[in-house]
Structure 1
Amino acid sequence: MKTYLAIFLGSAEAMDAWKKLPEAERNERGQKGIAEWHKWVSDHKDAIVEMGSPLGKTKRTDKNGVSDTRNELGAWTLVKANSQEEAAKLFLNHPHFMIFPGDRVEVMECLPIPEKQ
Structure 2
Amino acid sequence: SEADQAETARLGVAAVAAWEEAHRDSIVWQGGPLGPTKRIGDDGAVTDMVNLLTVFMVVRADSHEAAARLFENHPHMSIFVCDGVEVMPILG
| Structure 1 counterpart of 2:18, from 24, 34, 39 | 39
1:30 pairs with 2:9 = yes
Cα RMSD after superposing both structures:
1.4
CA distance in 1, matches of 2:13, 2:45: 37
SS of the equivalent of 1:81 reads: coil
Structure 2 gaps, min length 5: none
What is the CA distance between 1:64 and its match in structure 2? Answer: 5.0
* Count of residue pairs the alignment pairs up: 91
Structure showing the higher strand proportion among its residues: 1
CA distance in 2, matches of 1:107, 1:40: 17
SS of the equivalent of 1:30 reads: helix
CA distance in 2, matches of 1:37, 1:56: 20
CA distance in 1, matches of 2:71, 2:48: 30
Aligned match of 1:99? 79
What is the CA distance between 1:28 and its match in structure 2? Answer: 1.2
TM-score (norm 2): 0.87
Aligned match of 1:80? 60
TM-score (norm 1): 0.70
Taking CA–CA contacts closer than 8 Å with sequence separation of 6 or more, which of the two structures ends up with the larger relative contact order?
1
What is the CA distance between 1:31 and its match in structure 2? Answer: 1.6
Structure 1 gaps, min length 5: 1-21, 113-117
After superposition, give the CA deviation of every residue in 1:18-40 in whole Å (9 maximum; x if it has no partner).
xxxx2221121112111111111
Letter in 2 for 1:52: G
1:65 pairs with 2:45 = yes
CA distance in 2, matches of 1:100, 1:94: 9
Identity level (%): 45
SS of the equivalent of 1:87 reads: helix
Aligned match of 2:27? 48
